[in-house]
Structure 1
Amino acid sequence: MKLSRLAELSGVSTTTIKHWIRVGIMPAGRLRNATTAVYEQRHVDRARLIVVLRDVYGASTASIRSLTDLIDTPGVLTLDVMNACQAFALGVPEDIASDPAYDEFRERTHELMRRRDWRGYPGAAERGLTSALAQAAEVGLDYDVDELMEYADALEPLTSRNVEALGLEGSADEVARRMLLAVNARARQLVAVSSLAHAASAVRSAIDAGRAPADIAKPPARSAAPAPSRA
């Protein structure tokens, strides 16, 4: 396909695509003659991945290249790409894995993994939980392993369906794009549900303490069912 068609399919300008090629995050097209290059589906997949990294995660060119260089490594495994996407999405430095300041929270993470026989591959997610536990403790939310097990009890039944929905078909770029979007969507959904539950708890406490009327902030009424269509 021509550069103009690649731009149309990926939703970015030809100028932007040329810039991505210059900085090394998009492979060059195959030269058809001295002035014309042709592009393939792999270029479309790469452009769509870069758009997610840029627009959803606000990633710098250097950060994007760290992921695309891995994807372009001969023989790279899909699991390696998925782990790199988790590390990218969580944004947790690798040194947390060995920093003594995180020992207590790292051990809670590992104990949770031992109890549930969770096998991290090879550590981005566990570094993320270690970091999150440390941050939570700083604001008085010091979760122990039993509390983490309660969260895991609720989440684990959903994981198989989530992995199945994600799918591992297609190019490494496409798998990475879908995974990055899925991680972002899951995080936003979990935060939103948690926020809704905490808001409801605060309202109930206010009502019980007499600081708010009993009929405050009720859920919206169900909308009327649509009338059946007539043939």
Structure 2
Amino acid sequence: MKLSKLAEKSGVSTTTLKHWIRVGIMPSGRLRNPTTAVYEQRHVDRARLILVLRDVYGASTQAIRSLTALIDAPGSTTLNVMNACQELALGVPEDIADDPAYADFRERTYELMRRRDWRGYPGAAERGLTFALAQAAEVGLDYDVAELMEYADAVEPLAGRNIAALGPEGSPDEVARRLLLAINARARQLVAVSSLAHAAASIRSAIERGDAPADLAKPPAAP
């Protein structure tokens, strides 16, 4: 397909596509003659991936280049790509893995992984949990391993179903795009459910104290 058709199929302007090619995050087309290049489905998939990175995650050109270079590297696996997507989505600095200030939170993460036989070390996900535990502790939510196990009991069955639903089908770019969208969707869903539960607990406490009417903020009746 010509560049104009690529722009039509991807929803990205030809000017932007040319810029992406120039900065090295979009592969060049195959030259048909000295003045015309042709593009394939892999270019559409790459454009769709870059749109998610740019518009959903606000990723810099450098961050996008790092991920696309990994995808394009010979021998790159789906697990490599998944870890890189988690790295980008979680935004956790790598030096957390060795920072002594996080030692206790790292050990809680490792103990959770040991108890559940969760593999993934070393990787972005375990650094992400270490960082999240440290942040929670700063505001008085100091989760121990037993509490983490309760979260894991709820999340682990969902993880298996999510992986099965995503599947390995498609180009590496398309797999990465789906992974990134899924990570973002899961995070929003978990935060929303948690927020709803915390709001309900606050309202219930207010009702029990007599500070709010008994019918406050009830959901609509079932149709």
TM-score range, shorter chain: over 0.9
TM-score scaled by length of structure 1: 0.95
TM-score scaled by length of structure 2: 0.98
CA distances 1:108-160 after superposition (whole Å, capped 9, x unpaired) = 00000000000015411000000000000000000000000000001111111
Taking the aligned partners of 1:59 and 1:10, their CA distance within structure 2 comes to 19
Residue 57 (1) aligns with residue 57 (2) = yes
CA distances 1:48-79 after superposition (whole Å, capped 9, x unpaired) = 00000000001111111110111111111111
Q: Which residue type is aligned with residue 194 of structure 1?
A: S
Task: Call closer, same or farther: CA 1:121–1:17 in 2, change over 3 Å.
Answer: farther
Matched position secondary structure for 1:31 = strand
Matches within 5 A, 1:14-25: 14-25=14-25
Aligned position for 1:228: none
Q: Which residue type is aligned with residue 128 of structure 2?
A: G
Taking the aligned partners of 2:16 and 2:59, their CA distance within structure 1 comes to 15
Task: Call closer, same or farther: CA 1:165–1:121 in 2, change over 3 Å.
Answer: farther
Which 4+ stretches in 1 moved above 3 angstroms? none
Matches within 5 A, 1:153-192: 153-192=153-192
Q: Contact 1:50–1:64 (CA<8 Å) still a contact in 2?
A: yes
What percentage of residue pairs aligned between the two structures are identical?
Answer: 83
Kindly tell me the number of residue pairs found equivalent between the two proteins. 223
- In structure 1, list runs of 5 or more residues that go unmatched: 224-231
Taking the aligned partners of 1:85 and 1:121, their CA distance within structure 2 comes to 15
Task: Call closer, same or farther: CA 1:205–1:97 in 2, change over 3 Å.
Answer: same
Aligned position for 2:147: 147
Taking the aligned partners of 2:129 and 2:55, their CA distance within structure 1 comes to 25
Taking the aligned partners of 1:122 and 1:39, their CA distance within structure 2 comes to 37
CA distances 1:168-192 after superposition (whole Å, capped 9, x unpaired) = 1111111100000000000000000
